[in-house]
Amino acid sequence: MEDRQILEARYREMYDGMVRKDTALLDEVLDGTFVLLHMTGLRQSKAAFIRAVEDGTLNYFSADHRDIHTELHGETAALIGKSVVSAAVFGGGRSTWHLQLRLTLARRENAWRITEARASTF
């Protein structure tokens, strides 16, 4: 599998882990340095993000991936993914979001890991 395909797979795996509340999968795809920057400006570490998915603070029900664009830069990469996401977050009701994630990834120990995600809408 080519790097671009692997990067796209990481994006899809991240969402799969979020929807299924699969903390082992999230732990695998997210780097130890991972930070999520929410639209509100809230910054969550890897541990805080996984905990919020697991305890239902962040509930993801589905994700329909519309567009994924990748750029390789040696041992780092950038990915912009646009997905229509059904979610209920921070105590709010279930809504459908046109969510864009800008990911930064790094190759660590021969595997691509997500180091940062910046959320916005599209």
- Residue 112 confidence (pLDDT): 98
d(CA 105, CA 29): 10
> Mean pLDDT over all residues of the chain?
97
pLDDT per position as a tens digit, 30-85: 999 999 999 999 999 999 999 999 999 999 999 999 999 999 999 999 999 999 99
What are the domain boundaries of the chain? 3-121
State pTM to two decimals: 0.95
CATH topology for 3-121? Answer: Nuclear Transport Factor 2; Chain: A, (3.10.450)
- Residue 1 confidence (pLDDT): 79
Contact 103, 11 (CB under 8 A): yes
Phi and psi at 95, nearest 5°, equal -140, 165
Does residue 28 surpass a pLDDT of 90? yes
SS3 at position 83: strand
